[in-house]
Amino acid sequence: MEFLKKTQLIFIYLGLWLVLWVPFAYADDTILSSSVRKLSMEEAVQIALTNIDDIQQAKGKVTESSANTAYIASEKKELESSSVSVNPGHLPVNTTDFLQQIPEFNQLGEEEQQQILQAIGLQIAINSSINQWIGLQSQMQSSYNQQVKDKQLQTYEAQLRSLVYDNELAELALKKTQQLVIYAVRQQYIQLAALSSQIAYQQNLYAHSSTLASDAQILFRAGRTSKSEWDQVQRQQRIQQSKLDSQVRGYKTQLAQLARELKLDLNTSIEIENITIATPQLTDYEQTVDLSRNYEIQEADAKIKLAKDNLTSLTDPGTELKHYYTVLWSNAVSQRDAIWSRLENRWADQKAKLTALYYQLQDAMDEEQGAVQRAEDANLLYTKGRLSLSELDKARQTQRQAEMSKTDLLYQYLLQAETCKLATYGVIL
Distance from chain centroid for Cα 110: 97
pLDDT digit string, tens, across residues 356-399: 999 999 999 999 999 999 999 999 998 888 988 788 889 989 99
Q: Is residue 150 part of a domain?
A: no
pLDDT digit string, tens, across residues 262-274: 999 878 788 888 8
Is residue 4 over pLDDT 80? no
CA 148 – CA 150 distance, rounded (Å) = 6
Q: Is residue 193 part of a domain?
A: no
pLDDT digit string, tens, across residues 296-338: 999 999 999 999 999 988 877 677 888 888 999 999 999 999 9
- CB contact set of 17 (below 8 Å; sequence gap of 6+): 274
> Full-prediction pTM beyond 0.75?
yes
Among 9-18, 30-39, 200-209, 250-259, the range scoring the smallest mean pLDDT is: 9-18
Q: Which domain holds residue 315?
A: 291-429
SS3 26: coil
CA 187 – CA 200 distance, rounded (Å) = 20
CA 409 – CA 392 distance, rounded (Å) = 26
- CB contact set of 154 (below 8 Å; sequence gap of 6+): 313
pLDDT digit string, tens, across residues 155-183: 999 999 999 999 999 999 999 999 999 99
Q: Is residue 190 part of a domain?
A: no
Q: Is residue 375 part of a domain?
A: yes
Q: How many CB atoms lie within 10 A of CB 222?
A: 8
Which among 376, 363, 350, 374 is positioned nearest to 405, based on CA atoms? 363
CA 277 – CA 272 distance, rounded (Å) = 15
Q: Is residue 315 part of a domain?
A: yes
Domain count, the chain: 1
Q: How far is CA 426 from CA 18, 298, 419, in A?
A: 31, 9, 11
Which among 262, 281, 287 is positioned nearest to 272, based on CA atoms? 262
- CB contact set of 300 (below 8 Å; sequence gap of 6+): 332, 335, 336, 339
b/e map 131-164, b = 16+ CB within 10 Å: beebeeeeeeeeeeeeeeeeeeeeebeebbbebb
Q: Is residue 299 part of a domain?
A: yes
Which among 114, 186, 248, 111 is positioned nearest to 417, based on CA atoms? 186
Q: Is residue 241 part of a domain?
A: no
Q: Is residue 286 part of a domain?
A: no
